[in-house]
Amino acid sequence: MKRRIGILTSGGDCPGLNAAIRGVARAAYELFDAEIIGIRNGYGGLIEGDYKEMNKKQFSGILTLGGTILGTSRTPFRNMRVIEDNGVDKVAAMKKTYKDLKLDCLVTLGGNGTHKTANLLSQEGLNVIGLPKTIDNDIYGTDFTFGFHTAVDIATDVIDRIHTTAASHGRCMVIEIMGNKAGWLTLYSGVAGGADVILLPEIPYDIEKVAKTVESRAKKKKAFSILAVAEGAMTREEAKMKKKEREALRAEQNFTCISSRIAKELTELVGVEARSVVPGHIQRGGSPSAYDRVLSTQFGVHAAQLIKEGHFGVTVALKGNDIVHNDLKDIAGVPKPVPQDDPVVVTARNMGINLGD
């Protein structure tokens, strides 16, 4: 029996998207009579009916390719049921495109927002399967998302390189790692890169305690310090504020990023030469690591197996060494912060790394 499969990538790009697309397509062609429809630019393409019929050749040579051959965009979940000035009912438009294309299933590759919309479409009666991607590793129900380990490798390489220049100049370097709500990437790369201080959104920090570590190192004739700071890190006082209040405070302080503020504060408190480094979107770019190529492929193949079985309304996940799946309704919108007792947090503390608290 022939099955028509729509595939889209939504939200921020990350390494492994093309490997996952390839995994879905190649396994589908092997397991059953498949037709693949590529939806361009995420849910925006599903809303606008922007798609392309694909063939086997188009899935060749993309395993190592970064980004996404389908293009991506952000269509915030909170706006999905909002009819804006153009008068488009986005949910109705997506359902129409799905039916017009005679799809048997829609495979969505994305993060938290993508999964919330996938669950919405599932509840609207469409056959949907999710694949969890994000460098933040903050999708509930899976040990790891694809893209995370590549980003850890990149962020660790940044810290390694900053180590040498910090040591050469005797500087305190504050490296800002991506992660607004979850600190998984900062935690893993900070430990891997030998950071002296790691600041996460989940553990509000006291700048005085951070300063003591930097000062202590200086007194021990360790001329430099390395701080790995998540972009969403906040002080204890900020943690008590609402998001808009924090944003207003930082705008008033006139800092473009958290790392520059911390660098300035450490210069004033300790008297060290402190600099901030923001690698930014470098962490999301480039070819996926070997780990992510394997994981993306496994996720894609599992999705094809689910399509063969007619099992929808789920998202693929990694549990231990097993590739499994969870119901979309159980994971959509559920946060996955770094727990205080996470083994890597415990490892960091036991090594004497300052977590700011």
Backbone dihedral region for residue 262 (phi beyond 0: left; psi -120 to 50: alpha; all else: beta): alpha
Distance CA 113, CA 115 (A): 5
CB distance 153 to 289 below 8 Å: yes
Which of these is catalytic: 104, 136, 138, 196?
136
Task: Count other Cβ atoms within 10 Å, centred on residue 317.
Answer: 23
Residue 153 falls in the annotated catalytic set: no
- Torsion of the alpha carbons at 130, 136, 142 and 145, rounded to the nearest 10: 60
Pairing of strands 33-39, 51-54: antiparallel
For the record, the structure tokens of 266 come out as 């450490």
Name the amino acid, one letter, at 110: G
Closest among 80, 73, 77 to 40, alpha carbons compared? 73
Closest among 184, 181, 151 to 13, alpha carbons compared? 151
Residue 335 buriedness (CB in 10 A; 0-12 / 13-18 / 19+): exposed
Report the SS3 class of residue 346: helix
For the record, the structure tokens of 347 come out as 């490892």
Q: What distance, in Å, lies between the first and last C-alpha atoms of the chain? A: 59
DSSP 70: T
Catalytic residues: 136
